[in-house]
């Protein structure tokens, strides 16, 4: 006999998944790559642009700790940044119509994709210059991960509810296991952090703290 579900039952189920759900896959260090999303000057350097994310600046020591741990454990570290690519012809056409664009656009912003100096990549580490939010959109990231034989991505950086979250969704849809660092990602409005983590937790990623990620990498 088919069970009928009340509105309260389905609401309780949904809320439990948003707040307490956890993906069932384990974290295998040898299968992981770290994605450091958009920790670049425009977002991290204090007071430098209207796109500055103060929470991202505060996270620099924690992200640095994770990067160093990954290097020690031979976990590939891959950086992304917004930059001037293909004369801007690789952007979604609807992008300029969005309200997150500033009308007084400074051509010097988001041209070089310079990673914040405290998190600077090593010479042998990859920096992907991307044209939109997600790190898989019109970039070779999927091919790079497959050639590295990695099926799990650990995501840190900014913004949680734009570039990090979009990258997590794109990775999930490509069959990758996704780990989001709940306390090593940042938004421009801290009130948006937990709602985005709840959505990712329910349907796209395993949300872990830095200490939990470090423990898994050490194990």
Residue 164 carries which DSSP code? I
| Per-residue confidence (pLDDT) for residue 1, from 0 to 100 | 72
11 within domain boundaries: no
CATH number of domain containing 185 = 3.40.50.850
2 within domain boundaries: no
Domain of residue 36, residue span: 27-92+110-218
6 within domain boundaries: no
49 within domain boundaries: yes
124 within domain boundaries: yes
Number of Cβ within a 10 Å radius of residue 216: 17
For the chain, 219 residues long, give each residue's pLDDT as a single digit of tens: 788 999 999 999 999 999 999 999 999 999 999 999 999 999 999 999 999 999 999 999 999 999 999 999 999 999 999 999 998 899 998 988 888 876 555 568 899 999 999 999 999 999 999 999 999 999 999 999 999 999 999 999 999 999 999 999 999 999 999 999 999 999 999 999 999 999 999 999 999 999 999 999 998
Total domain count, the chain: 1
| 3-class DSSP state of 101 | coil
The CA distance from 27 to 177, in Å, is 9
| Per-residue confidence (pLDDT) for residue 106, from 0 to 100 | 54
Query: What is the pTM (predicted TM-score) of this model?
Result: 0.95
198 within domain boundaries: yes
10 within domain boundaries: no
22 within domain boundaries: no
């Amino acid at each position: 006999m088919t069970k009928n579900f009340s509105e309260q039952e389905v609401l309780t189920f949904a809320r439990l998944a948003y707040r307490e759900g956890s993906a069932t896959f384990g974290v295998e260090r040898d299968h992981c790559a770290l994605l450091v999303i958009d920790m670049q000057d425009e977002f991290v350097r204090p007071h430098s642009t209207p796109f500055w994310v103060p929470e991202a600046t505060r996270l620099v020591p924690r992200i640095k700790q994770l990067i160093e741990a990954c290097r020690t454990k031979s976990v590939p570290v891959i950086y992304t940044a917004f930059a001037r690519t293909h004369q801007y012809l690789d952007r979604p056409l609807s992008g300029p119509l969005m309200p997150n664009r500033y009308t007084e656009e400074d051509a010097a912003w988001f041209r070089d994709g310079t990673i914040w100096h405290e998190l600077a990549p090593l010479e042998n580490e990859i920096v992907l210059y991307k044209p939109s939010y997600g790190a898989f959109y019109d970039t070779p990231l999927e091919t790079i991960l497959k050639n590295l034989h990695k099926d799990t991505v650990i995501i840190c950086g900014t913004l949680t509810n734009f570039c990090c979250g979009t990258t997590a969704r794109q990775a999930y849809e490509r069959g990758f296991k996704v780990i989001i660092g709940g306390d090593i990602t940042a938004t421009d409005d801290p009130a948006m952090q937990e709602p985005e983590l709840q959505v990712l937790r329910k349907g796209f990623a395993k949300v872990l703290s830095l200490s939990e990620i470090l423990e898994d990498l050490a194990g």
